[in-house]
Amino acid sequence: MRIAIGSDAATELTEALKAELERRGHRLFAFGPLTVGEAERDWPLVAEDVARAVVDGGADEGIVCCWTGTGVAIAANKIRGIRCALAQDAETARGARVYNHANVLALSLRATPIPVMKEILDAWFSTPTESGEAQNAWNVEQIARVAALER
């Protein structure tokens, strides 16, 4: 799978995240300081780059990181077609896929231990976005409808 990944800072977590994704066989498209030679970059810009890579089809899914994870999630969700979920644990990641058909995962650089990050990735990649009841698909359609009204 092609994964767009970005963060406003390179940390032990982002290095472990990149290594784990590559170990799982994903092809990475890095943004911000996760790119070799790139300096720290403001989180809204990194989130936008990752989100646009997903909606433009350059990546199948995205992962964004910042200190709390909240800012990158908010910024990514401003891009039409993105459903970014901040996950602090595996069950939240699973629910984001089932109930919200999330296509971008947000992680906190501060609060995500590396073992928990791996559990989150296990849940994220093992739960297809098409899973769940028809009600979940209807809810996702309503998110798109509201987003279209706001533009």
User: Could you write out the DSSP letters of every residue in 91-134?
Assistant: HHHHHHHHHH---EEEEETTT--HHHHHHHHHHHHHS-TT-S-H
State the pLDDT at residue 135: 62
Reply yes or no on whether the pLDDT at 151 is more than 60.
no
The CATH number of 2-149 is: 3.40.1400.10
State the pLDDT at residue 131: 58
**Residue 65 annotated as catalytic:** no
Mean of pLDDT over the chain:
91
Mean pLDDT of 12-35: 96
Output the six-digit token pair for 113.
């231990």
State the pLDDT at residue 129: 75
Mean pLDDT of 56-78: 97
Look at the alpha carbons of 87, 14, 77, 28 in this order and tell me if their dihedral is positive or negative.
negative
Mean pLDDT of 16-28: 98
Q: Which long-range contacts (CB under 8 A, 24 or more apart) does 16-25 make?
A: 16/114, 16/117, 17/63, 17/65, 17/107, 17/117, 20/117, 20/118, 20/121, 21/63, 21/121, 24/121, 24/125, 25/1
The active-site residue out of 5, 46, 47, 66 is: 66
